């Protein structure tokens, strides 16, 4: 049998490096590492006649770090093992069969370091932070938006009306919910036409650029058709549920080069990411998304909303999707990553947010974020438009460094919001 462990090995610049958390099942951690390295590359469970020393030498990965205390393991894979530019194939290797092995109790893919050759083989975002800011004409402040609520239920006309109210109230962005696509009572094409028409009206009336992010999630060709409908009616954005459509389709949507901003919703991610001992980290999902080329990505709410996610982890994620270079952070399970020519992704905070969350979000996540409010907008005691106004007021107060309570004295919409939901 081949051997894969070599703790003296120093990863080459061209290697793909993967960090795993490994809990063996009835064997030693070392033996588990051997089997993971084999199954994710060129090996199998028995000696085989078709293996030869040339193949083994050229393609064998190396387990170069084993931390027995934390059960963290690092493996360096030669790039020839993978097809550059083919994300499903890369994941079928390093995030494939290994999860199902009997000899492994739990396995978590913590991070992947992609060398230059692989970074260059993907497109990355077409717009990224700079492109989005240019499109909106908003230089420094966070963008604020809403998700039309109820998630599903309004007809196309009602949907467009709620969107209009939100824009008129002061929001930049209106977004479909992740489970709204083309329903019997709210057909995609009708919704897009009506909503973008009212977007134009809101733009004229407010003098601000307004954004609608329609959810095109569907079978690949139908997604591309829907993107065409959005474009036809003057939309510049599309939204996709990246986990439920899958990586091959996300690549297809990006490679279609539609000239539209891609907003990535991450519904289902926590089926993979929530358990810290098994599955795939959100950091990994975020890096894959940046490589493939989404422009905006939901990364969490640094612990102020309804969804899980630690502040520390989410800030690592934000850095890794925004920065040119990510330093390694042993404790945070973050590998070093150079992003070369790949543009930064705009982080999205969403999930159980209300106006009183804005100061904390901006303090922790900075200005390069989109803050999305669902119930925290439409749940305002005076309805959607006032809810939107309250959000914009909370943002203004935050940017002017005025305490929300203070600002609320002269801003009744904000006051009502704070009275209902408080300050995070």
User: Coil, strand or helix: which one is 52?
Assistant: coil
What is the rounded (10 degree) CA torsion for 61, 62, 66, 71?
0
Q: Is 278 a catalytic residue?
A: no
Using CB under 8 A, which of 131, 228, 332, 383 touches a copy of itself?
383
55 contacts a copy of itself (rule: CB under 8 A):
yes
Least distance (Å) from a copy of itself to the CB of residue 349? 13
Give the helix/strand (H/E) hosting 379.
none
User: Coil, strand or helix: which one is 296?
Assistant: strand
419 contacts a copy of itself (rule: CB under 8 A):
no
170 contacts a copy of itself (rule: CB under 8 A):
no
Q: Is 420 a catalytic residue?
A: no
Cβ neighbours for 402, distance < 8 A, ≥ 6 positions apart: none
What's the rounded Cα separation, in Å, for the pair 135 and 137? 6
267 contacts a copy of itself (rule: CB under 8 A):
yes
What's the rounded Cα separation, in Å, for the pair 411 and 424? 19
Residues 1-30 that bind a copy of itself (CB under 8 A): none
Pairing, β 279-280 against β 104-113: parallel
Choices 204-212, 228-236, 305-313, 318-326 (CB under 8 A): range interacting with a copy of itself:
305-313
Backbone angles phi, psi at 53, to 5 degrees: -60, -30
By beta-carbon proximity to a copy of itself, the closer residue of 40 and 389 is: 40
Using CB under 8 A, which of 34, 172, 178, 413 touches a copy of itself?
178
Using CB under 8 A, which of 22, 37, 63, 95 touches a copy of itself?
95
By beta-carbon proximity to a copy of itself, the closer residue of 138 and 267 is: 267
Least distance (Å) from a copy of itself to the CB of residue 389? 14
By beta-carbon proximity to a copy of itself, the closer residue of 95 and 283 is: 95
49 contacts a copy of itself (rule: CB under 8 A):
yes
Site string for a copy of itself, 333-362 (x = CB under 8 A): ------------------xx-x--------
Overall residue count recorded for the chain in this entry: 424
Per residue, the 3-state secondary structure of 104-156, as one string, reads: EEEEEEEEEECCHHHHCCCCCCCCHHHHHHHHHCCCCCCEEEEECCCCCCCCH
Using CB under 8 A, which of 334, 376, 404, 414 touches a copy of itself?
376
Under a CB-based contact definition with an 8 Å cutoff, are residues 213 and 237 in contact?
Answer: yes
By beta-carbon proximity to a copy of itself, the closer residue of 315 and 326 is: 315
| Active-site entry in 149, 175, 316, 333 | 149
Least distance (Å) from a copy of itself to the CB of residue 220? 4
53 contacts a copy of itself (rule: CB under 8 A):
no
- Give the number of other Cβ atoms within 10 Å of residue 410's Cβ: 9
Backbone angles phi, psi at 64, to 5 degrees: -110, -5
Choices 137-145, 340-348, 377-385, 399-407 (CB under 8 A): range interacting with a copy of itself:
377-385
| Active-site entry in 265, 269, 386, 411 | 265
What's the rounded Cα separation, in Å, for the pair 278 and 108? 4
Matching residue, tokens 């370091």 = 113
By beta-carbon proximity to a copy of itself, the closer residue of 150 and 366 is: 150
Cβ neighbours for 212, distance < 8 A, ≥ 6 positions apart: 163, 173, 174, 175, 195, 196, 199, 235, 237
Using CB under 8 A, which of 343, 380, 392, 411 touches a copy of itself?
380
70 contacts a copy of itself (rule: CB under 8 A):
no
Using CB under 8 A, which of 4, 40, 313, 416 touches a copy of itself?
40
Using CB under 8 A, which of 10, 13, 69, 102 touches a copy of itself?
102
Buried b (16+ CB within 10 A) or exposed e, 319-342: bbbbeeebeeeeebbbbebebeeb
Using CB under 8 A, which of 96, 131, 332, 412 touches a copy of itself?
96
Number of residues that bind a copy of itself (CB under 8 A): 106
Q: Which of the residues are catalytic?
A: 149, 265
């Amino acid at each position: 049998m081949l051997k894969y462990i070599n703790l003296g090995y120093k990863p080459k610049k061209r290697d793909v490096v993967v960090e795993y958390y490994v809990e063996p099942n009835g064997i030693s951690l070392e033996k588990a590492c051997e089997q993971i390295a084999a199954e994710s590359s060129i090996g199998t469970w028995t000696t085989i006649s078709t293996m030869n020393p040339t193949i083994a030498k050229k393609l064998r990965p190396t387990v170069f770090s084993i931390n027995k205390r934390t059960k963290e393991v690092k493996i360096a894979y030669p790039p020839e093992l993978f097809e550059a530019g083919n994300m499903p194939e890369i994941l079928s290797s390093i995030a494939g069969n290994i999860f199902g092995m009997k000899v492994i109790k739990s396995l978590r893919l913590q991070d992947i370091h992609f060398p230059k050759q692989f970074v260059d083989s993907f497109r990355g975002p077409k717009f990224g932070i700079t492109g989005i800011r240019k499109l909106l004409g908003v230089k420094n402040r966070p963008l604020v938006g809403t998700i039309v609520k109820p998630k599903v239920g309004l007809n196309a006309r009602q949907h467009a009306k709620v969107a209009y109210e939100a824009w008129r109230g002061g929001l930049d962005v209106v977004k479909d919910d992740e489970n709204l696509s083309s329903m019997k009572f709210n057909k995609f094409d009708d919704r897009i036409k009506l909503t973008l028409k009212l977007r134009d009206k809101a733009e004229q009336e407010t003098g601000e650029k307004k954004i609608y992010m329609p959810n095109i999630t569907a079978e690949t060709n139908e997604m591309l058709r829907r993107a065409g409908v959005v474009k036809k009616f003057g939309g510049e954005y599309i939204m996709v549920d990246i986990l439920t459509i899958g990586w091959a389709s996300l690549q297809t949507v990006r490679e279609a080069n539609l000239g539209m901003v891609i907003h990535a919703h991450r519904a289902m991610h926590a089926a993979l990411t929530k358990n810290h001992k098994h599955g795939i980290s959100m950091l990994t999902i975020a890096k894959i998304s940046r490589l493939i080329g989404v422009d905006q990505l939901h990364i969490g709410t640094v612990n102020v909303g309804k969804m899980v996610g630690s502040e520390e982890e989410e800030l690592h994620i934000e850095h890794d999707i925004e920065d040119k270079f990510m330093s390694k952070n042993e404790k945070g399970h973050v590998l070093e990553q150079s992003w070369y020519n790949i543009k930064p992704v705009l982080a999205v905070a969403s999930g159980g947010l209300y106006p009183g969350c804005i100061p904390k979000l901006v303090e922790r996540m900075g200005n390069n974020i989109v803050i999305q409010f669902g119930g925290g907008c439409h749940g305002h005691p005076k309805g959607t438009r006032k809810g939107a106004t309250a959000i914009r007021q909370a943002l203004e107060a935050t940017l002017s460094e005025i305490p929300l309570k203070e600002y609320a004295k002269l801003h009744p919409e904000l006051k009502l919001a704070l009275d209902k939901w408080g300050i995070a």
